[in-house]
Structure formats: structure tokens, C-alpha cells
Amino acid sequence: MLRQTTYLTKRYGVPEGWTLPVYERDGGYQQAKRALSMPREALVEEMKAANIRGRGGAGFPMGVKWSFMPWPPKPEKPHYLVINADEGEPGTFKDRTIMELDPHAVVEGCIIGCFGIGAHAAYIYVRDELHLSKARLWGAIKEAREKGYLGAKPFGIDYPVEVYVHTGAGAYICGEETSLLNSLEGKRGEPRLKPPFPAQAGAFGMPTTVNNLETIAAVPVALAMGGDAFSKLSDLHDQKDGGCRLYGVSGHVNKPGVFEACVGLTLRELIYDLGGGVKGGELLGVIPGGSSCPILRPDETVNAPDPKSPLHRWHGKNVLDVPMGVETYRALGTMLGTCCAIVLNKNTDIVLAMHNLMRFYRHESCGQCTPCREGSAWLFRILDRMVHGEATMEELDRLHEIADNIMGNTICAFGEGTAMPALGFLRKYRKEFEEHVRTKGKSGTGRLAL
């Protein structure tokens, strides 16, 4: 159900909304101060009750992640908090708005997060291209430090906290948490094998929690409201998917942008109520949460006769009317991802759309695992032949085979992130792909733009 909120976006559009005086006027840093005087366990319990599912795409409960940290911290093994702001998933542009327009929420979240996991240093890993975001974050850190909210004794409390911004250098894979940690350590951003998980051996080999930037920015709000009350904002509170979050919509809509709403918004509401409807005609498909989430067709209906299914309440309904939640979307065979949807209208050449994304994955595969490095390149090569009217039916079938061979055979989830959307396109638009091959490309519009 559509319920727009302004907990996270209150200062968006406010003059100088990114500065400390404005943040403090809205009660900023009160929660960090309060958190540092709370028992650590009570803080983590409060965060567990908030049911903040990781906003970076995996949807892992944040409070539970915090509780995985070894306790108590050993002096020879300092803990680290690492914030993932390597926003680069095609279609995703929400974290950038927080960094640019409300950086103090991030810094305050980092102070609370550090205390919650027993760390004294937080690194915010921002992709290098986001120069304004980095400047705003550094500005916020400087202001907070000058006020004595960071440093040796934040708010006069004996719990040192430092926050730093670290930059990447243009690699999508660094949004994968172990790759990000390697990059933070000054290495090539190649993913690590898990286990060990970051909570055991993360940044610099020390216990580390990696949280998405929007996740950590929601922490002060959740703490102010109380974990349970925050969770209950959501329609999916009973599925442990709580609070409010940022939604984005781009592509063929009349009003692309970032919107804040309670968890449980439907795609139809995102596209038509917030995004102003489909631009230039009917809907062909929607990629719900960043390009790694398999595409949904507007004529799909939910098939969940089993009362135990998280989708049962929506059995027989259109997929666009299912609340966007971690569990509901997993059950739909796609992913919630980052909640930033890409909308394609009927005039879109679906083969070109897949070609565009497979070019992206070929470019961004780090090359460490053979199935992904070779597979992503082959997917693109065959699609490129298809776009030029040169591919055969046999090659169309081979695309399935290549994608299947990537799945489950790589160190990190990038492999699935390439193969799953590829299979989504192929399965859901099989007729269009066959027609494209048969007509040597003449059946498509040959256009992505209107």
C-alpha cells in the first residue's frame, strides 16, 4: 500500500539541508548521543526489532548482522564498520541522494553502528565518480568532529569513533562486500571466498560489518522511533521486513526519481502513482530492483496456492500488485534488490535491452572465475550477433546453457547477478527472441529510447 513518508528525506530540498545546523534543528545527533549511553545489547535488540533489511540488495536483517560480531572485542582484533556506497547497480540512484542531501544521517548512523558492533572506526566506501557525495560526506565529518561528536570522546563519552571516506576507482564489482574489502585494503577488487565471513575476518583481517549506506542512514530514525514502531510502518512487518525506505524509478516513466515510502509499496504504485505512469504507451516489462533482478511482465499472475507461501495472500493477483518485500519478491522468482525499478514500454526492443545489460556485465566481470569471465563475454557476443541479425536458433538456446553454467560456479554473487536476469529475459520473452532470430532482427523496433 502506498504510504509516502519523510523520515529519510526530510531535508531533501531544504536550503543547506546537508549542514550540521539544519540537521541539529531536526534533532540530529540526539540518537547517537543516546546510543553511546545504552547497553550494547539493548541497542542491538532495538535494531533487530526494527527489521531493517539490508538496502543494498541482499536484504539481510541489519540487527542480526550486527549481532554476528564476536563479543567482547579483543584488544588485538579491532572491529571495523564499513559502509557500502559503491552504488553502481544499473537503475539504482538512491544512496547518492542521501550522501548529497543528508550526509549527517550517514555520519550519525556510523557512530551508532560503530557502538553497536564494537568498532572505533568506520570507512564509507564511495565510488570515485560521486565527487559531490564525497565532498558532502567529508564536510559532514568535519562539522561533526569540530562539534566534538566524533573523535576521542564523542559527546564527552569515552568511546572513540572516527569516520573516513574511502574511494574506489571505477569497478562495479567493488559493491560486492568482500571485493569492497579488498579494494579498501588497497588491492585489486576481486571477491574473496566465504567463509571466513567479514564478521570473522573482514577489513584488514579483523571482524567487520559491512552495511549499505541507506541501511545505516535509517538507523538514527529507527532508534528515535523505537525498533518495533519503525518496523510497524511496513505492511510486511509480519514477514520481518520493516520500516520505510527509498524507492527509485527510471526508464520509460513520466516522472523518474527517488521517493520515500513505507515498505510494502507495490510496483504498480511505484510506476503509476509515484513515477507518473508509463511514458509513450503500454508497459512491456519492469526490472524491479536494479539490473540483476529478473524482469517481470505486466501480464504475470501470482501462483501461490500453498497457504505457507509468503505470496499466498496475493494468489491469483497481478504481480504488479504484490508488495515489494524481500520475501515476497524472492517467492516471485525475482529479487527485491535495491528497490529501484527500470520501466520498459511496449516500443522497447527487448533484445537490445538484454544486449545493453549483458554488455555491462561483460565489462564489469572481474575476471577471477572462469564461468563468469567467459560466460558473460559469450552471452554478450551471441546477443551482439543476434542484434545484427546473425544469430541462429541454436545460439538462442545456447544462451540458456551459458547462463546455467555460470550459476553456482563462481566465488561471488556477480555470477548469479548476470545469469538470473539473462534467464529472466530469455524465459519471459521467448517468443520475441525467437521472432527476432527468425526475422534476422526485423521484428524488433531496433530502439531503446522512445
Task: Name the residues that contact another protein, by CB under 8 A.
Answer: 78, 87-93, 95-96, 127-132, 162, 164, 166-172, 183-190, 204, 248-252, 256-258, 287, 291, 340, 342-344, 348, 353, 356-357, 360, 363-364, 366, 448-450
The Cα-based distances of 272 to 9, 178, 212, 267, 325 in angstroms read 21, 37, 28, 8, 18
Cα angle at 136 between 131 and 137, to 5 degrees? 100
DSSP classification of residue 163: E
CB of 182 to another protein, least distance (A): 10
Only one residue has cell 559502509, namely: 83
Q: Across 24-131, where does the E strand assignment appear? A: 79-85, 119-126
Question: In the chain, helix, strand, coil percent, each to 5?
Answer: 45, 15, 40
Residue 49 or 161 having the CB closest to another protein: 161
CB of 354 to another protein, least distance (A): 9
Of 101 and 302, CB closest to another protein: 101
Nearer to another protein, 46 or 269 (CB): 269
In sequence order, the β-bridge partners of residue 301 are 318
User: How far apart are alpha carbons 209 and 47 in whole angstroms?
Assistant: 14
Looking at beta carbons only, is 61 or 248 nearer to another protein?
248
Shortest distance, position 138 Cβ to another protein, whole Å: 12
Pick between residue 130 and residue 244 the one whose CB is nearest to another protein: 130
Task: Give min distance, CB of 311 to another protein, in A.
Answer: 27
Q: 188 or 312: whose CB is closer to another protein?
A: 188
Least Cβ distance, residue 185 to another protein (angstroms): 5
CB 248 within 8 A of CB 93: yes
Q: Are the C-beta atoms of 55 and 89 separated by less than 8 Å?
A: no
Task: Find the shortest distance in angstroms from Cβ 25 to another protein.
Answer: 28
Nearer to another protein, 10 or 96 (CB): 96
Query: Residue 168 or residue 417: which is nearer to another protein going by CB?
Result: 168
The pairing of strands 257-262 and 244-251 is antiparallel
**What is the closest distance, in whole angstroms, from the C-beta atom of residue 121 to another protein in the complex?**
8
Cα 145 from Cα 150, distance rounded (Å): 5
For residue 194, how many C-alpha atoms fall within 13 Å in the half-sphere facing its CB? 15
What's the rounded Cα separation, in Å, for the pair 100 and 88? 16
Q: Taking the complex as a whole, how short is the minimal distance between the CB of residue 338 and another protein, in angstroms?
A: 10
| Smallest distance from another protein to CB 207, Å | 13
Q: Which is nearer to another protein, 105 or 130 (CB)?
A: 130
- Grid cell at residue 335: 529479487
Nearer to another protein, 249 or 262 (CB): 249
Smaller CB separation from another protein, 61 or 256:
256
Alpha carbons 105 and 82: distance in angstroms, whole number: 15
Do residues 201 and 222 lie in contact, with contact meaning Cβ atoms separated by under 8 Å?
no
CA 198 – CA 402 distance, rounded (Å): 31
Q: How far is the CB of 317 from another protein (least distance, A)?
A: 27
C-alpha–C-alpha distance, residues 433 and 350, integer Å:
8
Nearer to another protein, 100 or 241 (CB): 100
Residue 344 CB, shortest distance to another protein, in Å, is: 7
Considering the complex, what minimum distance in angstroms separates the CB of residue 227 from another protein? 30
What are the phi and psi torsion angles at 177 (to 5°)?
-60, -35
DSSP letters, 218-261, are THHHHHHH-HHHHHTTSTTGGGT--SEEEEEEEESBSS-EEEEE
Cβ-Cβ contacts under 8 Å for 251 (sequence gap 6 or more): 91, 341, 342, 343, 344
The amino acid occupying position 262 is: C
Amino acid at 269: E
